[in-house]
A and B are shown apart, each in its own frame.
Chain A
Amino acid sequence: MSVQKKQISRQKMLLSDKTPFAVQEAYKVLRTNVMFSLPGAGCKCVGVTSPCPGDGKSTTAANLALALAQIGKRVLLVDCDMRLPTVAASFRISLSPGLSDFLVGQAKIEDCVHQTENNISVIPAGNIPPDPTGLLEARQIEHLFTAFRKICDFVIVDLPPVTSVPDAAILSKYLDGYLLVVRQKRTRHRDVVQMLKQLELADSKLLGFTTIGGESGKKYYSYKRKNG
Chain B
Amino acid sequence: MQRTNANIETNKEMDLGQLGRIFLKRLWLIVAVAMICGLGFFIHSKLFIKPTYQSYFTAYVNNKISDTGVNTSTSDLTASMGLVYVYEDIMTSRSVLKQAAKECGTSYSQIAGCVTASVSETAPVVKVVVETTDRKLSLRLAQKIAEIAPIKVAEVVDGSSMRIIDPPEAPNGKASPNSVRKATTGFLFGFLVAAVVLVFRDLIYDTVQGSEDMERRYGVPVIGHIPDIFQAERANERYGYKMTGGDRK
**Shortest beta-carbon distance from B204 to chain A in Å:** 10
Is the Cβ of B8 less than 8 Å from the Cβ of A197?
Answer: yes
Instruction: State A7–B186 Cα separation when bound (angstroms).
Output: 53
Residues of B199-249 contacting chain A, CB below 8 A: 205-211, 214-215, 217-218, 220-229, 231-233, 235-236, 242-246, 248
A216 at the interface (CB under 8 A from B): yes
Is the Cβ of B224 less than 8 Å from the Cβ of A21?
Answer: no
Is the Cβ of A217 less than 8 Å from the Cβ of B225?
Answer: yes
Minimal Cβ-Cβ distance residue in B for A207: B1
Using A30-B223, A208-B222, A227-B248 as known contacts, say yes or no to A215 and B231 having CB atoms under 8 A apart: yes
Q: Which residues of A contact B209 (CB under 8 A)?
A: 184-185
Chain A residues with a Cβ closer than 8 Å to the other chain, count? 58
Q: Which residues of A contact B172 (CB under 8 A)?
A: none
A193 at the interface (CB under 8 A from B): yes
Is the Cβ of B243 less than 8 Å from the Cβ of A20?
Answer: yes
**Shortest beta-carbon distance from A24 to chain B in Å:** 6
Is the Cβ of B225 less than 8 Å from the Cβ of A211?
Answer: yes
Is the Cβ of A214 less than 8 Å from the Cβ of B228?
Answer: yes
Chain A 167-199: CB-based contact to B (< 8 A → 1; otherwise 0) = 000000000110110111111111011001101
Is the Cβ of A13 less than 8 Å from the Cβ of B229?
Answer: yes
Instruction: State A17–B5 Cα separation when bound (angstroms).
Output: 39
Is the Cβ of A26 less than 8 Å from the Cβ of B226?
Answer: yes
A210 at the interface (CB under 8 A from B): yes
B68 at the interface (CB under 8 A from A): no
B123 at the interface (CB under 8 A from A): no
Using A20-B236, A210-B223, A217-B225 as known contacts, say yes or no to A203 and B3 having CB atoms under 8 A apart: yes
Is the Cβ of B3 less than 8 Å from the Cβ of A213?
Answer: no
Using A189-B206, A192-B208, A211-B214 as known contacts, say yes or no to A30 and B4 having CB atoms under 8 A apart: no
B72 at the interface (CB under 8 A from A): no
Is the Cβ of A210 less than 8 Å from the Cβ of B231?
Answer: no
Instruction: State A73–B223 Cα separation when bound (angstroms).
Output: 20
B73 at the interface (CB under 8 A from A): no
Minimal Cβ-Cβ distance residue in A for B232: A20
Is the Cβ of B6 less than 8 Å from the Cβ of A206?
Answer: yes
Instruction: State A219–B220 Cα separation when bound (angstroms).
Output: 20
B11 at the interface (CB under 8 A from A): yes
Q: Which residues of B contact A187 (CB under 8 A)?
A: 207-208
Sample of 10 further A-B pairs with CB below 8 A, known A215-B231, A216-B235: A63-B226, A183-B208, A184-B207, A188-B205, A189-B206, A193-B8, A206-B1, A206-B6, A210-B224, A213-B227
